[in-house]
Structure 1
Amino acid sequence: MLKASLNAYDVQVPELRIKTATPDDLDGARAVMLDTVYRDFGTGYVPHWHRDIIDMEGAYLAPARHTLLVAVDERDGAVVATAALDSRGPAHPPNPRWLAERYPSGETAQLRRVYVRPEYRRRGLARRLVGELLDFAAADGGYRAVYLHTDPAVPGAEPFWRALGKVVCDEREEEPGGGSRVVHFEVPIAC
């Protein structure tokens, strides 16, 4: 059912190809990611949060249960979107202890770095990437949950994830008037 809902929003764009990243794609993927954390998040590169952006090979290419997908514009070979999955659950701290216990590392597929360059948005590309990640998680056979967190201040992020999953913790409600603004989601694994 989730797969069908992902495909229902799929806009075919023939010049865009989604593929598993290779070492040759990492510079382009890194540029998309860094542009996103500087432009959309406004934080810039923070080593504690973004270490995987620098070592994508160690974070996503080398481990068998992890993956990094890229969307490439075949007209010029540019990486225009990224999406990653790893087997690390949310850490405590900074996340609530109960959340880390609910989504333990090894059993949890965490979606990360689902970023699309602004000029390629609103074409169904992020949904296609997420669909591929969910297929990867299902094929692995060892994941019992798919988890992610997002910053709702990023335009479009919260409604996008609400359309695909369910909120399991909205830290804005946990800490009214301050603290974190992170929203945590669970997305059904593709069947």
Structure 2
Amino acid sequence: MPTYRIRAATTDDIDGARAVMLDTVYRDFGTGYVPRWHGDIIDPECFYLAPPRHTLLVAIDERDGAVAATAALDARGPAHPPNPRRLAERYPSGETAQLRRVYVRPEHRRRGLARRLVAELLEFAQADGGYRSVYLHANPDSPGAMDLWRSLGKVVCDERDGVLGGGTGIVHFEIPTA
């Protein structure tokens, strides 16, 4: 069984992290790269490594040094549009730690990596001291995502039914910080 080292990403990890992220949006989401949604994937240094209140974590497979999983946090709340206005108001930028890009390569799934990465992100948010809530949106087509997020938080908006926001299919969660 492989062992993993979880740590903050460095510039040396960017290509591996980007590959995990792009593979996920193509394979699991079926959307491929969409610039207005995925700009952070192309330039993770600018979005996650440079700003002091942001981070990108990687899980490194110690057998070969490859990036097996990613997870990021930033201070940008959900924007309206495309998200419902009430979510943008409830989770304002600067006060909201938004979890992003919690992605695990298929061959490394079911080993607790996503849960471990999220635990590290929550510690990062608590240490910051300026975040009052933790928010994320999830694509329900991502294998294992809904079970993970339901076990860690609560659904605050489910757009799969078409009633809110035009039925984008996204599920929004709040994760307790303590």
Q: Which residue of 1 aligns with 2:122?
A: 134
- Per the TM alignment, residue 160 of structure 1 is displaced from its structure 2 partner at its CA by 1.2
1:160 alignment partner, one of 119, 127, 148: 148
Which one has more relative contact order, counting CA pairs under 8 Å at least 6 apart? 1
In structure 1, the partner of 2:24 is 36
Counterparts of 1:69 and 1:80, CA distance in 2: 11
Instruction: Tell whether the 8 Å contact from 2:137 to 2:173 is kept in structure 1 after alignment.
Output: yes
If the length of structure 2 is used for normalisation, what is the TM-score? Answer: 0.96
Q: CA deviation at 1:74?
A: 1.4
Alignment of structure 1 residues 175-190 onto 2, 5 Å: 175=163, 179-190=167-178
Pick from 75, 86, 93: which aligns with 1:87?
75
Paired residue for 2:58?
70
Runs of 4 or more consecutive aligned structure 1 residues displaced over 3 Å after TM superposition: none
1:21 to 9, 13, 16: 9
Report the counterpart of residue 61 of structure 1 in structure 2.
49
State which of 132, 137, 152 in structure 2 corresponds to 1:149: 137
Tell me the TM-score normalised to structure 1 length. Answer: 0.89
Alpha-carbon distance between aligned partners in 2 of 1:82 and 1:134, rounded to the nearest angstrom: 14
Alpha-carbon distance in structure 2 between the residues aligned to 1:179 and 1:188: 26
Aligned partner of 2:90 among 74, 84, 102: 102
Deviation at 1:15, TM superposition (A): 2.3
Q: Percent identity?
A: 78
Maintained 8 Å contact 2:2/2:63: no
RMSD over equivalenced CA pairs, Å = 1.3
Q: Deviations over 1:42-64 (max 9, x none)?
A: 00000000000011000000000
Residues of 2 paired with 1:161 and 1:143: CA distance?
A: 19
Aligned counterparts of 1:17 and 1:129: Cα–Cα separation in 2:
10
1:92-143 CA-partner distances (Å, limit 9, x unpaired): 0001111100000000000000000001000111000000000000000000
Runs of at least 5 residues in structure 1 that lack an aligned partner in the other structure: 1-12
Preserved CA contact (<8 Å) 2:25 2:32: yes
